[in-house]
């Protein structure tokens, strides 16, 4: 449990220092992608930063944005990812991934990974939203089809949760 203040605390300060040390687009991109894989979305590998991750992520995004604006031409700001890929290539690589996907769990993994890797400022907003709303629409179709077909028991098993307590719930 985080026994410290919400807005100013040692954990945030420690991460702010790491973020301030990022000097170029390449390092800041790698840092942000790595941070998101470890500490964001239900796929994260650690909940250690549960009450601070959004703040830290926002600050890392801010840093990358500034580095990117300094380094990129106006044209590149609209068409390049900070990974060095063109935004169009990223769209071409990711949009087909959910096209024929039938499994909602694989689908959500693809969508979450896309967000962990490419949420702005990694991708320009214009391209990110195009891909994200496409993947999101496809995922919602998978998840919302036959919504009530499985019992809660079956759903818990599919999701892979460990049931710790079922009070008077059937």
Partner 1 sequence: MALSAATKAATDALSINRAPTSVNPQEVHRWLQSFNWDFAQNRTKYPTKYHMANDTKEQFKLIAKEYARMESVKDERQFGTLLDGLTRLGAGNRMHPRWGETMKVASNFLEVGEYNAIAASAMLWDSATAAEQKNGYLAQVLDEIRHTHQCGFVNYYYAKHYHDPAGHNDARRTRAIGPLWKGMKRVFADGFISGDAVECSINLQLVGEACFTNPLIVAITEWASANGDEITPTVFLSIETDELRHMANGYQTVVSIANDPAAQKYLNTDLNNAFWTQQKYFTPVLGMLFEYGSKYKVEPWVKTWNRWVYEDWGGIWIGRLAKYGVQSPPSLRDAKKDAYWAHHDLFLLAYALWPTGFFRLSLPDEEDMEWFEANYPGWDAHYGKILREWKALGCEDPKSGFLPIQWLAENGHQVYVDRVSQVPFCPSLAKSSVTTRIHEYNGQKHSFSDEWGERMWLTEPERYECQSIFEQYGGRELSDVIVEGHGLRSDEETLIAQPHVRADKLWTIDDIKRANCVFADPLSAL
Is 102 a binding residue for partner 1 by CB under 8 A? The answer is no
- Per-residue interface string for the shown chain with partner 1, residues 138-157, x marking contact by CB under 8 A: --xx-xxx-xx---x--xx-
* φ, ψ at 21 (rounded to 5°): -80, -10
- Compare residues 71 and 140 and give the one whose CB is closer to partner 1: 140
Let me know if 170 is exposed, middle or buried by CB neighbors in 10 A (0-12, 13-18, 19+): exposed
User: What secondary structure does DSSP assign to 49-100, as a single string?
Assistant: TTTTHHHHHHHHHHHHHHHHHHHS-HHHHHHB-TTSSBHHHHHHHHGGGGTS
Q: Is 17 in the site for partner 1 (CB under 8 A)?
A: no
* 165 belongs to the binding site for partner 1 (CB under 8 A): yes
Contact 39, 46 (CB under 8 A): yes
Does 70 interact with partner 1 (rule: CB under 8 A)? no
Answer for which of 51, 65, 83, 95 binds partner 1 (CB under 8 A) is 51
Radius of gyration in angstroms for the set of CA atoms belonging to the chain, rounded to a whole number: 19
Token pair 């650690």 in the structure block, residue: 46
CB of 127 to partner 1, least distance (A): 11
Residue 10 near residue 4, CB atoms below 8 Å: yes
* Residue 130 binds partner 1 (CB under 8 A): yes
Residue 22 has which token pair? 């990022």
Q: How far is the CB of 23 from partner 1 (least distance, A)?
A: 32
CB of 80 to partner 1, least distance (A): 20
Kindly state whether residue 166 participates in binding partner 1, applying the rule CB under 8 A: yes
Q: Which residues bind partner 1 (CB under 8 A)?
A: 1-7, 41-44, 46-47, 50-51, 108, 112, 129-130, 132-137, 140-141, 143-145, 147-148, 152, 155-156, 159-170
């Amino acid at each position: 449990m985080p026994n410290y203040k919400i807005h100013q605390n040692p954990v945030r300060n420690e991460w702010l220092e790491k973020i301030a040390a990022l000097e170029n687009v390449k390092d800041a991109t790698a840092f942000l992608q790595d941070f998101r894989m470890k500490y964001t979305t239900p796929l994260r590998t650690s909940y250690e930063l549960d009450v601070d991750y959004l703040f830290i992520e926002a600050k890392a995004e801010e840093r990358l944005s500034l580095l990117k604006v300094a380094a990129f031409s106006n044209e590149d700001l609209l068409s390049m990812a900070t990974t060095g890929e063109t935004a169009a290539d990223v769209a071409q690589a990711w949009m087909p991934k959910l096209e024929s996907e039938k499994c909602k769990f694989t689908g959500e993994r693809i969508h979450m990974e896309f967000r962990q890797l490419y949420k702005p400022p990694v991708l320009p907003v214009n391209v990110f939203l195009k891909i994200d709303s496409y993947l999101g629409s496809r995922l919602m179709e998978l998840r919302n089809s036959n919504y009530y077909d499985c019992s809660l028991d079956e759903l818990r098993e599919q999701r892979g949760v460990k049931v710790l307590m079922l009070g008077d719930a059937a």
